[in-house]
Structure 1
Amino acid sequence: MVDELNVDIRPEYPVSWQAAAINGVLRGTMKPISTLLVRNTTGMAVASRLMCLGERVPGILPGHVSVVPDGFGSCTGEWVYGGPYLDERKVVLYFHGGAYFVCSPATHRPITWRLSAAAGSPVFSLDYRQGPVHTLAESLADALQAYECLLNLGYAAKDILLAGDSAGGHLTLATLLALRDRGMPLPAAGVCLSPWTDLSESRRRVNVWSDPMLPAGRVDWLARRWTDGLDCRDPLVSPVYGDYTGIPPLMIVTGSTEVLRDEARRVALSARENGVQVTYEEWTRMPHIFPLLADVLPEGRLFFEHVSRFLDAVRDHHATAAPEAA
């Protein structure tokens, strides 16, 4: 099972015409809008309000999918059920992306309902606190509390999967490192989609022009803003600098033209050096968080088949490891 988990995968699917069209649209809209707005607090507020307007547009979910707003303790979010006959003894704790200042569980339902179906279990999508009002430490505190709440609800750690995209991928890695450092029981695995892992002073120089969605300069600017007054090489701030010894298996996925590609790859290599089994996937010419576009993007739908295979390998690995540990 180690060989099935510790692999580099570069899917060889032909790039769909939908992907080519979406890349063109993103390059002509999202990238220049981000370049214009993500410069100060006012621009960030405008971007956040635009995203809020998008949340109010009713999403089209399949009839077999249900969403239930809920909260436990101070944790709020929503339960997402990707179909009937789910194993409710297991759960996925999901952290949405949005650069720590935009988006919500509602914006990421195209991912969470499909992830629920792929995992065969409900997803709890956490509505964690975000900037500019709140700090990275407060976002991480919410993630840790949500995990503890799931344990208190009776879920075994081995039956919990952590997952997230972009800033949520950052939060997934930081949560795993913090749980390990606190001596808490660790979840079965972590899935990171286009994770933002390096918030240090390093400037991004790879895929600056080829990324169709993220302007590298604005990503660097946000990193400086969120780490002001912090040690930006602290692994809980920049997980790319973490020691991953003892962390459960990871699935790290990125697009070949993303500005975040290399830092995701660095985490994969570093974690492997620390003895972690890592499935690293690099999808040709896929935009940032491409599974979010799964309603219209064939590659976005195929991604969840890869997640299912990864989770099957994780289950087999744990089943094999349990007798050995005994």
Structure 2
Amino acid sequence: MTTSTGTRNVRIVPRTRTERRVARRLALEPGGPPSAQARLTGQAVRALVKGVWSSLPDSADGLLRFQRAAELAAALQAVPRGVSIAQEDLGTCTAEWVRAGAPDERKVFLYLHGGGYFFGSARLYRPSTWRLSASTGRPVLALDYRLAPEHTPSDALDDALAAYDFLLRNGYAPRDIVVGGDSAGGHLTLALLLALKRREIGLPAAALCLSPWVDLLCAADSHRLNARSEAVIPAAKLAWLGRRFCAGKDEDDLLLATRHADLTGLPPLLLVASGSEILRDDTRDLAERARAAGVTTAYQEWDGLMHVFTVFADFVPEGRAAFRHVAEFLRTVES
């Protein structure tokens, strides 16, 4: 715990059992100090993810090389007993159903993984999706949308629309669907909501955006200010990707519209970011614009954690705690 005296921060070491319990509790809430596990995991991720990504060339070959490394990591992912995985063919892409325990089959969570639109998979994200199912009591449909460099984020949006249509055709009402994603998947979540709104298709009951890459052109100040503290994403690499994806796009294209579109009418949003990541200001700005548009919005900013710390929930206690906050948010908006 810390307190401030003038311009100097003084660290208070918890001494009693009660003080230590409070300190541990604060570490698992937005605004609390990062846990020791989070700091150590952040150091490892900085070397293994940011370091490798930084070393690769800005080219299709560089993207494919990182993609192959991510696929090797995905092969190591496992789920605990009581979690079932079932594959689903959606035509242009696939998805997997993730069920923890005995979820309410009348409801569903459509999850859109992150990875800069060029890596990631439903399998890689199983540590997140099984916890989402367990905490929310819903089956999770985790989408394996098509990836760059062979495909574009526009293809990923088509896949997300197809997945949403699949759920509607299989009996889920919009009020029974929650959509969410992280990083590029957070951007895809927003693009999906705006596409549904344009097409006058019923919107889901709520949406979750974890560290969303709202502006693919990376114009926010935190892309520069947090470039060193960011543990996962090399800022220059993400900016290059954004320019590649947005080349030749009109301002009203859904890939660009997420940064300026009218958000009126969107469902309740839970937005989560870390104060030290480069996408912090993307998330802050989205929260402000959503509230100004009359959208019920909850924004959480966690101190000192890595980008999309929920992905590392096997190692980071704050990542596990975040799923409790997701469940509490959904209970609130459904009540």
**Fold match (TM-score > 0.5):** yes
Q: For each residue in 1:94-145, what CA deviation from the matched residue of structure 2 results, as whole angstroms up to 9, or x when unmatched?
A: 1011100101100000000000112111000011111111122111111111
Aligned to 2:173: 156
Higher relative contact order (CA 8 A, sep 6+): 1
Find out whether 1:76 has 2:72 as its counterpart: no
**Residues 154 and 120 of structure 1: CA distance in aligned 2, closer, same or farther (over 3 Å):** same
Which structure's CA Rg is the greater one?
Answer: 2
CA–CA separation in structure 1 for the residues paired with 2:57 and 2:132: 30
Aligned to 2:256: 237
Which letter maps to 1:78? E
Aligned to 1:24: 43
* Deviation of 1:60 (Å): 2.8
Does the CA-based 8 Å contact 2:90-2:162 persist in structure 1? Answer: no
Unaligned runs of 5+ in 1: 1-9, 317-326
TM-score between both structures, scaled by the size of structure 1 = 0.90
Aligned to 1:124: 141
CA–CA separation in structure 2 for the residues paired with 1:280 and 1:106: 28
Does the CA-based 8 Å contact 1:200-1:238 persist in structure 2? Answer: no
Aligned to 1:319: none
Unaligned runs of 5+ in 2: 1-28
* Deviation of 1:25 (Å): 1.7
CA–CA separation in structure 1 for the residues paired with 2:124 and 2:224: 29
Aligned to 2:69: 50
CA–CA separation in structure 1 for the residues paired with 2:48 and 2:101: 34
**Residues 38 and 173 of structure 1: CA distance in aligned 2, closer, same or farther (over 3 Å):** farther
Which letter maps to 1:120? G
Sequence identity percentage: 46
Does the CA-based 8 Å contact 1:38-1:218 persist in structure 2? Answer: no
CA–CA separation in structure 2 for the residues paired with 1:53 and 1:27: 18
CA–CA separation in structure 1 for the residues paired with 2:317 and 2:218: 36
Give 1:185's match in structure 2, choosing from 199, 202, 208: 202
Q: For each residue in 1:259-308, what CA deviation from the matched residue of structure 2 results, as whole angstroms up to 9, or x when unmatched?
A: 00001111110011111011000011110110111111111100011001
Q: For each residue in 1:149-187, what CA deviation from the matched residue of structure 2 results, as whole angstroms up to 9, or x when unmatched?
A: 100100010000001011110000000011011111110
TM-score between both structures, scaled by the size of structure 2 = 0.87
Find out whether 1:296 has 2:276 as its counterpart: no
Find out whether 1:216 has 2:249 as its counterpart: no
* Deviation of 1:74 (Å): 4.3
SS in 2 for 1:106: coil
Which has the higher mean CA deviation after the structures are superposed, 256-265 or 15-24?
A: 15-24
Q: For each residue in 1:176-214, what CA deviation from the matched residue of structure 2 results, as whole angstroms up to 9, or x when unmatched?
A: 011011111110000011100111363732311111221
Which letter maps to 2:266? I
Give 2:34's match in structure 1, choosing from 3, 8, 15: 15
**Residues 235 and 72 of structure 1: CA distance in aligned 2, closer, same or farther (over 3 Å):** closer
SS in 2 for 1:241: coil
* Deviation of 1:73 (Å): 4.8
**Residues 30 and 180 of structure 1: CA distance in aligned 2, closer, same or farther (over 3 Å):** same
Which has the higher mean CA deviation after the structures are superposed, 199-208 or 236-245?
A: 199-208
Does the CA-based 8 Å contact 1:194-1:260 persist in structure 2? Answer: yes
What RMSD, in angstroms, separates the aligned Cα atoms of the two structures?
1.7
Give 2:82's match in structure 1, choosing from 64, 77, 80: 64
CA–CA separation in structure 1 for the residues paired with 2:302 and 2:79: 26
CA–CA separation in structure 2 for the residues paired with 1:291 and 1:195: 13
Does the CA-based 8 Å contact 2:264-2:290 persist in structure 1? Answer: yes
* Deviation of 1:12 (Å): 3.6
CA–CA separation in structure 2 for the residues paired with 1:186 and 1:43: 37
Which has the higher mean CA deviation after the structures are superposed, 188-197 or 210-219?
A: 210-219
Which letter maps to 1:259? I
Which has the higher mean CA deviation after the structures are superposed, 143-152 or 192-201?
A: 192-201
Find out whether 1:278 has 2:297 as its counterpart: yes
Does the CA-based 8 Å contact 2:179-2:204 persist in structure 1? Answer: yes
CA–CA separation in structure 2 for the residues paired with 1:213 and 1:229: 28
* Deviation of 1:232 (Å): 5.4
Q: For each residue in 1:13-55, what CA deviation from the matched residue of structure 2 results, as whole angstroms up to 9, or x when unmatched?
A: 3321111111222233322211111511111111111112222
Aligned to 2:191: 174
